[in-house]
Amino acid sequence: FPVERIRNFSIIAHVDHGKSTLADRLLEISGTIPEGNNMQVLDRLQVERERGITVKAQTASLVVNHKGQDFLLNLIDTPGHVDFHYEVSRSLAACHGVILLVDANQGVQAQTVANFYLAFESELAIIPVLNKIDLKNAQPDIVANQIHNLFDIDKDEILKISAKSGLGVADVIEAVIERVPCPQYDRNKPLRAFVFDSWYDKFKGVVAHVAICDGVARKGEKITCASSQKVYEITEIGLMYPTQVPSGALFAGQVGYAMMNMRNTSEAQIGDTFYHENQPVEPMPGFKEATPMVFAGMFPTDQSEFPQMRSAIEKLTLNDRSVQIKVDNSPALGQGYRLGFLGLLHMDVFNQRLEQEFDASVIVTAPNVAYQMTVTGEKNIKYYGSEDITVLNPCLMPEPSNIAEYREPMVKGTIISPDDYINQITGLCLDRRGRITDQSYIDDKRVMFQVNFPLAEILVDFFDELKSISSGYASFDYEDAGYEISDLVKLEFYLNGKDVEELTLICHVSRARDLARQVCLKLKDTIPRQQFAISVQGKVNAKVLAREDIKAYRKDVTAKCYGGDISRKRKLLKQQAEGKKRLRKIGNIDVPKDTFIQILKK
C-alpha cells in the first residue's frame, strides 16, 4: 500500500459508549472477521472479557475498498476508563485521526470531554460519531447540540450510527478515509521504526508493536535499538489482522508487530526507535512518563514464592509501563514490592492479571497516595536545614515534631450529570473536601461541574457513591492538579499493644477519628476469633482514637458432631486447614491475607 492509501486512527469514547462494538463491526465490514460476531475481538485479555472493559489499547489492520481503490486502515482500540488515559495518549501518538464516539442516549460524559481534549491537543482529525441511535430513548439532536456547544464542532460533521446493527458504519469508514490525513512517511528513506507497545507472550517471548515511520523492515534484517545500541535480528514481523499474521515485511506508514530474539523483557522499551544496523536515524520523540497516583505494597502469600512473583511482576510491567516498582520489606509480610499505579482500577487489574496470567498469589496492602512533607531538625538532615521528602509508604513518615509542612496531591475533577442531582452532587463534593470551581449547563438539562479534590478523597469509593446518588447518571473524570498544603496525621493500628506497620495510614486530620473507627471495626470483622482475646486500637500520636475487642474463642469445628460420622469430621478438619492457608501470622495473631486491602472498604 502506498502511504496515500493508509490511515492510522483510533476510537475514543466514554466507557460503554460502544468502542469495542464499533471495532468489531469495522473488522466485519472489511471481511477481517466473519459476520454475526459479537465477541469484542480486540478485548484479548481474560480480565477484559470478564470485566467487559478494555484495558490495553489494541491494534488491528483492515483493508477496505473506497471508490475502486483498496485502503489499509490501522485501527487502534483504546480503553475508556480514567485510569488508562496513559494508554489512550500513547496510542494517539501512532494516529492521525480519531473517531470520537458518543452514546446518543447518555450524551456527552466526563471521559468524552477528557478524551476530546487529548485528541484536540495532539492536533488530530476528529470525526464525531453518535452511536446507539437504534435505542428508543436516543436523543441524537440534543447530543449533537452538546457536542456543538462544548467542542465547537459543526453539527453537519456529526455521523449518526448504530454499531450494534451496523447502520451507518460504512459512512464511518468513508469519513476515516476522507477526513483523516495519510501518514507523512517516506519508504525510500532509511528505516525508522517506533515501538509504541510491547509485552511478554508466554509462548513467543517479547513482542513489540511497531509503527514504521520511514523505510522498510524485513524479516531476517539486523536492526539497532537507538537507546541501548544493541543489535537484534527480526525473527518475525507482520500485521495484526486482527491477530498476528506474519507478512515478512512492514513498510513506512504501517503498524504491526515484530519479534526480535530479545532475551530480557526490559529490552523492548516503549517509545524507543529502531533503525537498520549502521544506518542511524534521528530517534522519534519518546513518551512522557506516566505519573503513578496510587501506591500499595505487594507481597507473595508465601515467602518462598518471592522469585516467581518477581519474574511475574517484571513481565507484567513490560506490558504496562505505567506501573512503578520499588523493592520493599515488611516485618510481617517479608520481602515484596511497593508498586505505583495510575488508579485503583489499574491496581485491581494488575493484581488480577498477576494471578490469572502468571499464577502468582499475592497479598496487597491498603492503597495510599504519595504525600510530600518538608522535614526540619532531624539529625540526619545535612546542615540542620530543611528537606522536601515524598512519602510513598505511610509507616515511613517521620515524627510529626520534625515536619514543618505537609502537602497532599490534588486532582481537577469533571462531573457531568442531569440537573435533578445538583444538590446531592454538591453535598458529596463538599463532604469529600472538594472545592467547586465552576458549574455550567451544557444543554438545558445537564450540568458540568469542575471540582478540585484531594486525590485521597476520591480514591476508594467516590465513584460508586456518585453513581448511587445520581441513579447512575453522573459521570466523572479527573486529571492531576499538583500538590496543596494540608494538615495530615499518621494513623497507627495496634493488635494487643503491638504496632502493625503494614496497617499504618496517613490521613487528613478531620478524617482521623472516623477512619480509626472504621478500620478497627473492619479488623474486628475480618480477624477470626482466636484462643486468646485481641485488642484492636487506632492511635494518632500515641492517643487512642478507637478501640475494639475480639473475644477469645476455641474454634473446634467438630464439636457439633458428637463423635458421630468420621468422614464428616475429616471433611470439616480439612476445611479448617484450608482456611488456615489464607491466614498470615502477625506476631502470634492470625490475620486473613486480604485484611490489608479490605480495611479501607466501607
* Site residues, ligand GDP (CB under 6 A): 13, 15-21, 54, 80, 131-132, 134-135, 162-164
Whole-number Å distance between alpha carbons of 48 and 353: 10
Residue 483, phi then psi, degrees to nearest 5? -110, 150
Shortest Å, Cβ 57 to ligand GDP: 12
Closer residue to ligand GDP in complex, CB, 54/273: 54
Q: Which is nearer to ligand GDP, 80 or 343 (CB)?
A: 80
91 in Cβ contact with 70 (< 8 Å): no
Contacted by 7, from ligand GDP, Mg ion, none: CB < 5 to 8 Å by type: none
Minimum CB distance to ligand GDP smaller for 131 or for 224: 131
- How many residues touch Mg ion under the rule CB under 5 A: the total is 3
Q: Which is nearer to ligand GDP, 54 or 198 (CB)?
A: 54
Amino acid letter, 473: Y
d(CA 278, CA 300): 45
Question: Choosing among Mg ion, ligand GDP, none, which partner's interface includes residue 105 (Cβ < 5 to 8 Å by kind)?
Answer: none
Binding partner of 135, given ligand GDP, Mg ion, none, CB within 5-8 angstroms per partner class: ligand GDP
* Residue in the block written with cell 480503553: 79
Question: Rg of the chain's alpha carbons, rounded to an integer?
Answer: 27
Minimum CB separation from Mg ion for residue 20, in Å?
A: 3
Q: How far is the CB of 41 from Mg ion (least distance, A)?
A: 11
Q: Answer yes or no: are the C-beta atoms of 488 and 371 closer than 8 Å.
A: yes
In this complex, which beta carbon is closest to ligand GDP, that of residue 7 or of residue 132? 132
Which is nearer to ligand GDP, 80 or 256 (by Cβ)? 80
CB of 351 to ligand GDP, least distance (A): 21
Q: Verify binding: residue 115, Mg ion, rule CB under 5 A.
A: no
* Beta-carbon contacts of residue 402 (< 8 Å; ≥ 6 apart): 375, 376, 377, 378
8, 20, 247, 265: which one binds Mg ion (CB under 5 A): 20
Least Å distance, CB 79 to Mg ion, is 7
User: For residue 80, how far is the Cα from the chain centroid?
Assistant: 10
Least separation in angstroms between residue 34's CB and ligand GDP is 18
Q: How far is the CB of 362 from Mg ion (least distance, A)?
A: 27
Q: How far is CA 573 from CA 64, 303, 582, in A?
A: 64, 25, 15
Min dist CB 505 to ligand GDP, Å, is 33
- Based on CB atoms, which residue is closest to ligand GDP, 98 or 586? 98
User: How far is residue 570's CA from residue 244's CA, in Å, rounded to a whole number?
Assistant: 51
Nearest to 157 by CA among 120, 130, 133: 130
Point out the residue whose Cβ comes nearest to Mg ion. 20
Q: Of Mg ion, ligand GDP, none, which one sits near residue 176, judging by CB under 5 to 8 A according to partner kind?
A: none
Query: Does residue 446 contact residue 419 with C-beta atoms inside 8 Å?
Result: yes
What number of other Cβ atoms are within 10 A of residue 247's Cβ? 18
Residue 26 or 354: the one with the smaller Cβ distance to ligand GDP is 26
Question: Smallest gap, in angstroms, from Cβ of residue 226 to Mg ion?
Answer: 33
- Cβ neighbours of residue 171 closer than 8 Å, sequence gap 6 or more: 159, 161
Closest by CA position to 161, among listed 144, 178, 182: 144
Interface with Mg ion by CB under 5 A: which range of 50-58, 333-341, 400-408, 414-422? 50-58
User: Nearer to ligand GDP by C-beta: 18 or 128?
Assistant: 18
For residue 242, cis peptide bond before it (omega within 30 degrees of 0):
yes
Contact of residue 25 among ligand GDP, Mg ion, none (CB under 5-8 Å per partner type): none
C-alpha cell belonging to residue 282 = 534521528
**Which of 8, 10, 30, 54 contacts Mg ion by CB under 5 A?**
54
- The interface region with Mg ion, picked from 15-23, 218-226, 523-531, 537-545 by CB under 5 A, is 15-23
Which string of b and e fits 267-285 if b means at least 16 CB within 10 Å? bbbbbbbbbbeeeebebbe
Distance of closest approach, residue 100 Cβ to ligand GDP, in angstroms: 12
Q: Which SS3 state, helix, strand or coil, does residue 68 take?
A: coil
In the complex, the smallest distance separating the C-beta of residue 23 from ligand GDP, rounded to whole angstroms, is 8
131 touches, from ligand GDP, Mg ion, none (C-beta below 5 to 8 Å by class): ligand GDP
Which residue, 130 or 177, is less far from Mg ion as judged by CB? 130
Q: How far apart are CA 559 and CA 557, in angstroms?
A: 6
**Rounded Cα distance, 536 and 549, in Å:** 6
Task: Look at residue 10 and give the partner it binds from ligand GDP, Mg ion, none, a contact being a CB closer than 5 to 8 Å depending on partner kind.
Answer: none
d(CA 584, CA 546): 24
Smaller CB distance to ligand GDP: residue 90 or 192?
90
- Contacts to Mg ion from residues 329-358, by CB under 5 A: none
Q: Give the angle subtended at the CA of 485 by the CAs of 481 and 491, to the nearest 5°.
A: 105
CB of 91 vs Mg ion, minimal distance in Å:
13
21 binds, among ligand GDP, Mg ion, none (CB under 5 to 8 A by kind): ligand GDP
What is residue 260's three-state secondary structure? coil
Please provide the DSSP assignment of 493-532 as one string: EEETTEE-GGG-EEEEGGGHHHHHHHHHHHHHHHSPP-SS
Beta carbon of residue 163, minimum distance to Mg ion (angstroms, whole number): 11
- 54 or 417: whose CB is closer to Mg ion? 54
Alpha-carbon gap, residue 158 to 295, rounded angstroms: 41
Query: Given the complex with ligand GDP, which of 163 and 466 has the nearer CB atom?
Result: 163
| 164 contact, one of ligand GDP, Mg ion, none, CB 5-8 Å limit per kind | ligand GDP
Per-residue 3-state assignment (H helix, E strand, C coil) for 475-503: EEEEEEEEEEEECEEEEEEEECCEECHHH
x/- mask, Mg ion, residues 161-200, rule CB under 5 A, reads ----------------------------------------
Closest to Mg ion by CB, 55 vs 176, is: 55
**In the complex, minimum distance from the CB of residue 401 to ligand GDP, in angstroms, rounded to a whole number:** 50
User: If we measure between CA atoms, which residue out of 62, 69, 82, 81 comes closest to residue 9?
Assistant: 62
Q: Are 237 and 219 in contact (CB under 8 A)?
A: yes
The site for Mg ion (CB under 5 A) is made up of: 19-20, 54
